[in-house]
Amino acid sequence: KQEVTQIPAALSVPEGENLVLNCSFTDSAIYNLQWFRQDPGKGLTSLLLIQSSQREQTSGRLNASLDKSSGRSTLYIAASQPGDSATYLCAVRPGSGTYKYIFGTGTRLKVLA
Amino acid sequence: ETGVTQSPTHLIKTRGQQVTLRCSSQSGHNTVSWYQQALGQGPQFIFQYYREEENGRGNFPPRFSGLQFPNYSSELNVNALELDDSALYLCASSSGQGAHTDTQYFGPGTRLTVL
């Protein structure tokens, strides 16, 4: 059974710091992995999608990497800003024949001005 | 391009009642997925609809049911509400089916409180 874990559960950093959020999954046979952002009480915004054949994806100050063999993904945020404060969720799609994403419980990030 | 919309925003029900939540998918999307997110947890997959047919289901009891309409909007129905059904219900739309439903676009959610 696929399980997704995110560490740390919460993180508080001063503005301008570079930071790394971690995601691990128990079954390396995944189809793809997505990172999402969720503001309090709101829906999810997709940040980056990495296919199983890819090693990383970049969008602006965000870079996500994927190491399937070790069951790990990291989300790197460069030069953090107070507007980056949110919960970041990692989700894996177990295989091409399944339709669901399995989510971690998220990392709650607070960037201090 | 219109995003995913959900209604109502908030809802309060009592145990045993029934509820219907609604979702309008993003323009051009034919697949809708529903998720339940309890406080402090990640979303849990309920089911997915593609072209008006259920296309995959998570570990939820039959009292959770759904519909998709010809315009690809969708409803989530929950019968015999229980206290543990209190959660944020998220709808996500995407284009394609199965292997081709990659990026999902989420709506703002409906916050359901069961008293």
A19-53 residue pLDDT tens: 999 999 999 989 899 999 999 888 899 999 999 99
* DSSP assigned state of A67: E
Tell me how many degrees the CA angle A101-A94-A87 measures, rounded to the nearest 5. 35
Nearest-Cα distance to chain B for A32, in Å, is 8
B13 pLDDT band (50/70/90 cuts)? Answer: very high
Are residues A103 and B42, on separate chains, in Cβ contact within 8 Å? yes
pLDDT digits (tens, 9 = 90+) for B29-62: 888 999 999 998 999 999 999 888 998 899 999 9
pLDDT digits (tens, 9 = 90+) for B63-107: 999 999 998 899 999 999 999 999 999 999 988 665 555 678 899
Asked whether residue B1 carries a pLDDT value surpassing 80, the answer given is: no
In contact, A34 and B80? CB cutoff 8 Å: no
Are residues B90 and A43, on separate chains, in Cβ contact within 8 Å? yes
| Tokens, residue B103 | 């990026």
pLDDT of B51: 86
B76: which strand partners? Answer: B21, B66
CB-nearest partner of B98 from A46, A99, A102: A99
A59: which strand partners? Answer: A62
In contact, A108 and A87? CB cutoff 8 Å: yes
Task: Search chain B and give the residue with CA nearest A104.
Answer: B42
Please report, for residues B1, B36, B89, B109, the alpha-carbon distance to residue B93 in angstroms, rounded to integers and kept in the order given.
13, 15, 14, 12
A61 pLDDT band (50/70/90 cuts)? Answer: very high
In contact, A6 and A58? CB cutoff 8 Å: no
Q: For residue B28, count other CB atoms closer than 10 A to its CB.
A: 10
Asked whether residue A7 carries a pLDDT value surpassing 80, the answer given is: yes
pLDDT of B33: 93
In contact, B78 and B64? CB cutoff 8 Å: yes
In contact, B68 and B81? CB cutoff 8 Å: no
Are residues B106 and A36, on separate chains, in Cβ contact within 8 Å? yes
Are residues A100 and B108, on separate chains, in Cβ contact within 8 Å? no
* DSSP assigned state of B26: P
Q: Give the whole-angstrom CA distance, residue B44 versus residue A104.
A: 10
